[in-house]
């Protein structure tokens, strides 16, 4: 079932969304300061490409408050916009019964696109 969901997702915009995150990650990695944010974009590109069968978990890290600072910078520099974009598509897809599985994936992506630092993508 995950394969069918991922194929439909890929055809209906998942590829373009992943390409956008990939290009954003490459642009951010050009600067030394942007490398941590570029790595998060690559993580988002991977889950946006094939979201079915994956889940987002919190990771215990020893970075202290750096995750908080990085997440605040992320939110202010585009994270809020991407999260609202995923929320919009989740609400729009949840209107129909057929769109419910895809709305669920957008809600999963909302979580990681709003606060990506300190999160990890794992297989279900």
Q: Which residues contact 28 (CB under 8 A, 6 or more apart)?
A: 34, 35, 37, 38, 41
> According to the model, what pLDDT value does residue 43 have?
93
pTM for this one? 0.86
**Cα–Cα distance, 124 to 91 (Å, whole number):** 24
Q: For every one of its 124 residues, what pLDDT tens digit does the chain have, with 9 covering 90 and above?
A: 889 999 999 998 889 999 999 999 999 999 999 999 999 999 999 999 999 999 999 888 767 788 889 999 999 998 999 999 999 999 999 999 999 999 999 999 999 999 999 898 999 8
**Cα–Cα distance, 65 to 81 (Å, whole number):** 23
Cα R_g (the chain), whole angstroms: 14
DSSP element (H, E) containing 57: strand 54-58
Q: Give the chain's domain count.
A: 1
**Cα–Cα distance, 7 to 4 (Å, whole number):** 5
Q: Which residues contact 115 (CB under 8 A, 6 or more apart)?
A: 71, 74, 75, 79
> Which range marks the domain in which residue 56 is found?
2-123
């Amino acid at each position: 079932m995950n394969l069918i969901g991922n194929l439909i997702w890929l055809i209906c915009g998942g590829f373009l969304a992943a390409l956008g995150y990939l290009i954003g990650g490459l642009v951010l990695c050009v600067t030394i300061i942007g490398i941590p944010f570029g790595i998060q974009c690559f993580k988002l590109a991977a889950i946006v490409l094939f979201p079915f069968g994956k889940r987002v978990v919190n990771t215990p890290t020893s970075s202290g408050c750096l995750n908080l600072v990085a997440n605040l910078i992320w939110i202010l520099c585009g994270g809020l916009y991407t999260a609202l974009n995923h929320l919009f598509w989740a609400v729009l897809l949840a209107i129909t019964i057929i769109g419910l599985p895809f709305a669920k994936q957008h809600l999963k992506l909302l979580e990681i696109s709003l606060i990506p630092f300190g999160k990890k993508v794992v297989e279900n």
